[in-house]
Amino acid sequence: MQDTELFLSLAEIAGVFVGFGALIAVRSGGASGAYEVTYIRGVVWMGVVVVVAALGPVVISRFGVTGHELWLACSLLAAALFWAMRVVTIRTPEHRAVEAPLTRAETARELLLMLAFEVPWLVALILVVLGLFPDQEPALYLAAVALILFEGAYFLVSVVLSLGRPQTASDPAALPATGGSSA
């Protein structure tokens, strides 16, 4: 496989995100606000998905799997892991606490976030699964993994920008101006 080094580098970058998420959680004595907890989980979650998705082609190709079968297996693995983690995450009390008070503007911002990151990577993976562009499957898969990493970067920046923001009893989620709660 020609992109082994690139995928290993993406896995390393995502590993740093996971480490930063853990460091923020530990350093702050455990994130106390629902927003911080939700977004730190998002950083770690996206990082883990990217690590697995980036290592997938490297590992699976070692078994002699190539071409469409390689990218199909990797795409299904990445999508399944992302959505499994999404289902687990949205059922947490912290996630519900962040979602409940969203205004229309914040909800619109969340929709834009999904349109910017999640819809394009999902479309890329669907195109790979359907085999519509066999010559472009490595590029589509790489684009999907990169977009998941970019979404994780958005979450990391959102957490960092929200740290130290005072929370009030009437605003337990303490949403910063940079985002809502896609995690």
pLDDT at 174 over 50: no
Question: Under the phi-then-psi rule, with left for phi > 0, alpha for psi from -120 to 50, and beta for the rest, what region is 124?
Answer: alpha
Q: For residue 75, is it within any domain? A: yes
pLDDT at 120 over 60: yes
Task: Please state the pTM of the whole predicted model.
Answer: 0.76
The range of the structural domain enclosing residue 133 comes to 4-162
Task: Compute the average pLDDT of residues 64-68.
Answer: 95
**Selection from 59, 53, 9 nearest residue 141 by Cα:** 53
Q: For residue 70, is it within any domain? A: yes
Local confidence band at 99 (pLDDT 50, 70, 90 cut-offs):
confident
Q: For residue 168, is it within any domain? A: no
Q: For residue 173, is it within any domain? A: no
Give the model's pLDDT for residue 24. Answer: 67
The token pair that represents 36 in the structure block: 């911080």
Burial of 50 (0-12, 13-18, 19+ CB in 10 A): buried
Scored b (16 or more CB within 10 A) or e, 69-96 reads: ebbbbbbebbbebbeebbeebeeeebbe
Q: For residue 48, is it within any domain? A: yes
Q: For residue 167, is it within any domain? A: no
pLDDT at 29 over 70: no
pLDDT tens figures, 142-155? 999 999 988 888 88
Local confidence band at 118 (pLDDT 50, 70, 90 cut-offs):
confident
Read off φ and ψ for residue 171, nearest 5 degrees. Answer: -135, 65
Give the model's pLDDT for residue 17. Answer: 73
Q: For residue 82, is it within any domain? A: yes
Q: Report d(CA 113, CA 68) in Å as an integer.
A: 30
Q: For residue 158, is it within any domain? A: yes
> What is the total count of domains within the chain?
1
